[in-house]
Amino acid sequence: MEFKDKQSIYLQIADYICEQILLGKWPPSERIPSVRDLGGMLEVNPNTVMRTYEFLQSKEIIVNKRGIGNSVTDNANELILAYRKERFLETELPEFFKTLYLLNVSMEELQSRYNSFVAEAYPTIQ
């Protein structure tokens, strides 16, 4: 995994775990890798993974079952989508709007490009 400088490593690992859950690789009620195993897989300090797991537990995306390990909660997908949407709307969207304003991109142009993107990227969904 390649880490970016602009975001804490534990949050990038949280995004990775959430992606695995959303992709169905770690389904609800299934155990996820141990702190030590994930640290080894991602080549990071286990303390960083532990911080990630504590963060995801606070968001109720994973739960620690004593003696068993961490597992995905039954409603993890919904919680991940709500968390990611909130984070996008609060942090990424304002920066995006600023860029649109500075580059003088109209809402009409943005809508047109968005519609083209969706039609091309997701043709079967429409």
Domain ranges (residues) in the chain: 9-76
d(CA 98, CA 121): 25
In the 3-class helix/strand/coil scheme, how is 16-45 assigned residue by residue? HHHHHHHCCCCCCCCECCCHHHHHHHHCCC
List per-residue pLDDT tens for the chain, 126 residues long: 889 888 899 999 999 999 999 999 999 999 999 999 999 999 999 999 999 999 999 999 999 988 889 999 999 999 999 999 999 999 999 999 999 999 999 999 999 999 999 999 988 765
Cα–Cα distance list, 13 to 20, 66, 68 (Å): 11, 22, 21
pLDDT of residue 126: 53
Give the CATH class of 9-76: mainly alpha
Is residue 61 within 8 Å of residue 73, measured between CB atoms? yes
pLDDT of residue 2: 85
Number of Cβ within 10 Å of residue 27's Cβ equals 14
> Could you tell me how many residues make up the chain?
126
d(CA 19, CA 71): 15
pLDDT of residue 39: 96
